[in-house]
Structure 1
Amino acid sequence: MLSRYHILISLVLGLSLLTAVGCGTRTTLRGSIVGTVVDSQTGIGVAGASVMTSPSTSTVLTDVNGNFTIGDVQPGVYTVTAHANDYNSNSVTVTIDSGLTATTNLVLVSMGGSFARNILPIFMVNCSIVGCHDDGTAAGGLRLNSYANVMKGSRYGAVIYPYDAQTSKLVRRIKGIETPRMPKNRPALSTSDQGLIANWINGGARNN
């Protein structure tokens, strides 16, 4: 006949075994990280930005609106970093809980943008091709069809002051702070285009 002592020991061992089995079947679910990468000045999403994490999971690119999703992420704490051409990188820290999605936004500050790729096309479409500031018309002596001409300014002097978009006459005309507004007798430039020009000037108005 089993003693009370042996019965007690058997019960304790049985409970321990059940607890161990229960813990072994506990499942940790993976989560995800979603967010948007935006321009600090315009607030518009940055398309084609590269987003990665540390510890490493996967690297993804933002869509045309600056949105991204990183899936299949183990629970834990991650540093999320975004890189984009002509922008300074930025990082944020997020925590992923089991089976949940963490949402975060990354704000990138422009390094000034590219004159050839970002700025000249704006001038050509809105100011030069339409016959206001091309070689033939050059209203006010200002031609906006090349880097040299843009930096030369008008017959009244410079219209761009590198590193100082706020006081640059071209920006003040584009924003309608000074008159006549540019482009004259045409729709105002979009907020995005205005931001690109201002960022380029604040970045030094480089010929890049």
Structure 2
Amino acid sequence: MLTIIDTKAGNFNSIINAFKRIGVYTILTNDVQKIKEARALVLPGVAAFEKGMTGLNENNLADIIKSKVIEERAPIIGICLGMQLLAENSEEHGSHKGLGLIKGNVVKLNPDNKDYKVPNIGWCDVSAKKEGVIFHGDYATSSFYHVHSYHLQCANSNAVAASIEYGGGEVTVAIEQDNVFGVQFHPEKSQDAGLELLDRFAKYTNNVC
């Protein structure tokens, strides 16, 4: 079972239904005890960074998540805003601290080619940067659905799992470092490729938990 953290920053039904389609049972909660007992975490969200962190800081959830991931080695995957919340800081509407599970900062998209609009909305070809859990083999290049104005700049390039070319530059859209995973795009809206990615994460949690 996967525990989806309710950040009060988005509609989680599509995530729940996507996991259901691949036969994975989930619970949606912001209950402290249930999160403490979780074996693996899913951190989604579609709102602004500050709102997402405010939701996590209620009931001290941010510290509980960090303890689960760092000390207990519980796997976590951040989706869309959730991936950004894994970072150290964000510049969205000011300066805000994140969970700090991945070294790096969240910055606004700034394409050199101004024909590319912000936000980035639509399907983008995603290229894997390393063999890992969520990207490998024939699955190394796939198309996923994106909706975002900000992106995570990783301090450590080894944490970058996949990227897209956007407006003349490379943008990180997936991370993988030990038991910490994240995707900027929406796997739940990305048809078979998205379901495959979620399935890979779910199977990984079964093997390590």
TM-score of the two chains, using structure 1 as the length reference: 0.22
TM-score of the two chains, using structure 2 as the length reference: 0.22
Which protein is bigger by CA-based radius of gyration?
1
